[in-house]
Structure 1
Amino acid sequence: MTFDLDTTPLVTLEDGVLTLPISLDGKGNALDGEAISQMKAALTALLAGEIDAGAVLLVGLGKNFCAGGNVAGFAAADDRGEHVRELADHLHAAIRQLDELTIPVVAAVAGWAAGAGLSLALAADFSVAGPDTRVLAAYPGIGLSPDGGMSWNLPRAIGPAAARAFILSNEPMPGERAYALGMLTTFVEGDVKEAARALAVRLASGPSESYAAVKSLLRASGSATLSDHLDAERDSIARLAVSPDGIEGVDAFVAKRSPEFGRG
């Protein structure tokens, strides 16, 4: 690791997990511009190989994951359109970085995930919810339309009709219902943040090349023919069969022991 985490004091790296706060306690858990700036700096370093992490964890530093954008800031701006455009560009740069990652991304969706907060949860590979989780589109409530990829990711998660009804109705939804629909990936009865961190730590010690290949194949599947995608799957699994993690995984299975990935 060559990136100095002292330059991003909100960001932490422990047990192979890069933890990125998106909202701050005491500020209503609205999306925080400085937190997103630090996220972008850390993700830039991670993508450049300057940070050695096996998973990313998105959290809110408070009782909620993220209650959406700072609406009071929208109202106070001299040029609301330009202000909101700049905020969307700021967020979307981070969303694009998350999408580029080859390692798993986990979101600890505790409390409310509304507006941009829900968009960030949808951008994660794993979104962990609990009994106190509530999700809300939020945008129609203030006369706006989605950002952060919500209108792209949500139809792919729950289908176009359900996504349209959820966003347009702007009704809060309990986490358990969101999980049942496929909007969120994981539901736990205990502490959401603890469960999300435990998941991220487990993933961080997993087969990184396998994760990267899975994410690459899934990204390509939407625009590939079945025949072309079958060729891509063949090439990928053959390549991984002679990779350090592939060799260790197969040998451990045959030996009936737990694999120790990341040693090669």
Structure 2
Amino acid sequence: MPRRPGRGTAALCTGAVLLSGCSGGGPAGRRPPDVPSAAPVPVPASPASPTGVAGPPVDPARAPRTPGRARALVAEVIAGPADFGPAARPGLPYESDPGQRPVLDGECDWRQRPLPREVLATRTRSFRIPAGPGREAARLTATVTVYRSSDDAAWELARAMEDLMRCPAQRLREDQWVGALFPAALYAGEQDDSATRDAFSETGEFHDQSGGPYPYGWSAARYGPVTVAVGVRGGPGTGRESIAPLVASGRARMLLRAGQRIGRWA
């Protein structure tokens, strides 16, 4: 993926900020210490991930050029509860402010900022998968962002990787943070994402006032000027192996819809 110099620390919207249910505006502070891992307890099964997604080249004539067209595309691509299985329910709030997104500052704290010029439209939805009365097994987010160009989208994904290397622990607000973050990057359809030009994932641990660590995963992928991302945070006792299929399924379904709408089909 290309690297764009001198662009500061704005990054592709991370699922951790939105999974926390906060605005990303907490004060800077000392990074919290690591704490022991929790024992695994399964969450409800996710739907099978689409496989063998064939990604056609992007058709420039179908790619949005205005904020209005970009907002329409976002609405068609973004995941709904059914994309995460029959147990998934809308979260509260269900959708984020479309005029802002989180930005990782120099102190590794997340803060809300207005959309930059290169972003035409973005939207994030939140979901929950209950594990039982009064306890949630998982919280999820799905994000779709449309950029002015494919290069803008690629540079933004590259900055997300750079931010993770710079800040392996990140504060969401005073009493919520993620740590022990581990990255993985794919390029040009490696592994099973033949629709993907670039992809980036991170796994780690989420902590809040109720305790932790709880398993956390986030994955983003790019199709031309469109990026899609899914974040998942497990609840008390949730196993990491239970959240990975949720991330893969949601991301693959949104990528498929993006290709159907702006791909060049013979």
> Which structure's residues are more often strand, by fraction?
2
Scaled by the length of structure 1, the TM-score of the pair is 0.24
Name the structure with the higher helix share: 1
